[in-house]
Homo-oligomer: A and B are copies of this chain.
Amino acid sequence: MTASLAARVLGGDLRAIARAITLVENEHPAGADLLRAVFAHTGRAYVIGITGPPGAGKSTLVDRLTAEIRRTGLTVGIVAIDPTSPFTGGAVLGDRLRMQAHAADDGVFIRSMATRGHLGGLSRATGDGVLVLDAAGRDVVIIETVGVGQDEVDIVRLADISIVTLVPGAGDDVQALKAGIMEIADVFAVNKADREGADRLISAIEANLSLHAYGEDEWRPPIVATVATTGAGVAELWAAIGQFRDRRPDTRVARRRTRGEQRLREIVAQQCLQLITTRVGVEQWMRTVDRIAERQIDPYTAADDLVSSVLEGRDGA
């Protein structure tokens, strides 16, 4: 099953891609098998991360940017991280609504991620989803997320390029985000730039950037004014992405290495946890949880006991 699915993913079969992403998203064992099978064929897609506060118009901007990229003949895969999705089918609905924009175009694949964030689950699932799209031959993969949560921001800053979307008049939200944003942005997109206050926002970003003395060979994040609803500035945004890609190949290599190491850490931790809970057995695990609830043992000591009991090969059941 997995072998044929892997072959179809590598062939770019849209339904196989959707199936594969569902497998990795649900942490189905077949998902890991699939990634093992296709991993050697990954690493070719250029990964663009787009983040920003809620209401910044990221979805519209991503749709416009996708259209711009398609005009160059490149294929696009989109992983949209929906913060509400852990609780509901909202992500699926989001897909339906958004697919319409590029419904007729097989060169665009959009998928929302609904995985829970525990122990890097969202980060792992997103990374795996990107790998699937990469293996499927998508030239460009876009990760879109609301960048308020740490995990989401961490995911985006590990893309080959991070685009931070801001809007005029968001006031304290922007203030609250600015500090963190200044450090993750490779490119700023000031969206809804036809709104009052756009110049003020751009000046504020400029002021922040000028606090940092950029060396000659250092990349100074450009600020691109966009109006996603009309498409204004989107071509300039795509051009800025191209400049960063061409001028910062070293950054790409470094981030991919970091990305690979982070995924390795996440998978090791997950496999370890699974192995330990399995070897310990449900009974002892629940007994331990009870004892913690009754304050008979603290979680750190309990964890020590469980880990060592397994690593010393004693069967906990």
Of A70-78, A112-120, A188-196, the one with at least 4 CB within 8 A of chain B: A112-120
Q: Contact: A119 with B260, CB < 8 Å?
A: no
Contact A117/B150 with A268-B303, A302-B264 known, Cβ cut-off 8 Å? yes
Q: Which residues does chain B contribute within 8 Å of A262, judged by CB atoms?
A: 118
Contact A173/B54 with A179-B90, A260-B299 known, Cβ cut-off 8 Å? yes
Instruction: Tell me if A67 is interfacial: C-beta within 8 Å of chain B.
Output: no
Q: Contact: B149 with A180, CB < 8 Å?
A: no
Q: Contact: B90 with A298, CB < 8 Å?
A: no
Q: Contact: B150 with A151, CB < 8 Å?
A: yes
Q: Contact: B276 with A36, CB < 8 Å?
A: no
Query: Which one of B55, B150, B152, B260 contacts A122 once the chains associate, using CB atoms below 8 Å?
Result: B150
Q: How far is the CB of A85 from chain B (nearest CB, A)?
A: 8
Interface size on A, residues (CB 8 A): 82
The proximity string for A residues 147-179 relative to B, scoring 1 for CB distances below 8 Å and 0 otherwise, is: 011111110000000000000001111001111
Instruction: Tell me if A84 is interfacial: C-beta within 8 Å of chain B.
Output: yes
Instruction: Tell me if A292 is interfacial: C-beta within 8 Å of chain B.
Output: yes
* Max count, chain B CB within 10 A of own CB: residue among A86, A87, A275: A87
CB nearest neighbor in B for A276: B268
Instruction: Tell me if A270 is interfacial: C-beta within 8 Å of chain B.
Output: yes
Q: Which residues does chain B contribute within 8 Å of A39, judged by CB atoms?
A: 295, 298-300
Q: How far is the CB of A175 from chain B (nearest CB, A)?
A: 9
Q: How far is the CB of A157 from chain B (nearest CB, A)?
A: 9
The proximity string for A residues 104-142 relative to B, scoring 1 for CB distances below 8 Å and 0 otherwise, is: 000000000000111110110000000000000000000
Q: Which residues does chain B contribute within 8 Å of A180, judged by CB atoms?
A: 83-88, 90
CB nearest neighbor in B for A37: B298
Instruction: Tell me if A256 is interfacial: C-beta within 8 Å of chain B.
Output: yes
Contact A118/B116 with A88-B183, A179-B84, A268-B303 known, Cβ cut-off 8 Å? no
Q: How far is the CB of A45 from chain B (nearest CB, A)?
A: 13
Instruction: Tell me if A311 is interfacial: C-beta within 8 Å of chain B.
Output: yes
Contact A119/B265 with A172-B55, A184-B87 known, Cβ cut-off 8 Å? yes
CB nearest neighbor in B for A33: B300
The proximity string for A residues 278-296 relative to B, scoring 1 for CB distances below 8 Å and 0 otherwise, is: 0000000000111011010
Contact A83/B256 with A268-B303, A268-B306 known, Cβ cut-off 8 Å? no
Q: Contact: B40 with A304, CB < 8 Å?
A: no
Q: Which residues does chain B contribute within 8 Å of A154, judged by CB atoms?
A: 86, 116-118
Q: Contact: B267 with A273, CB < 8 Å?
A: no
* Max count, chain B CB within 10 A of own CB: residue among A288, A290, A292, A310: A292
Q: Contact: B300 with A35, CB < 8 Å?
A: yes
Instruction: Tell me if A248 is interfacial: C-beta within 8 Å of chain B.
Output: no
Instruction: Tell me if A65 is interfacial: C-beta within 8 Å of chain B.
Output: no
Q: List 12 A-B contacts (CB under 8 A).
A: A39-B299, A83-B149, A83-B180, A119-B119, A122-B150, A146-B176, A257-B289, A257-B290, A263-B292, A267-B299, A267-B302, A268-B273
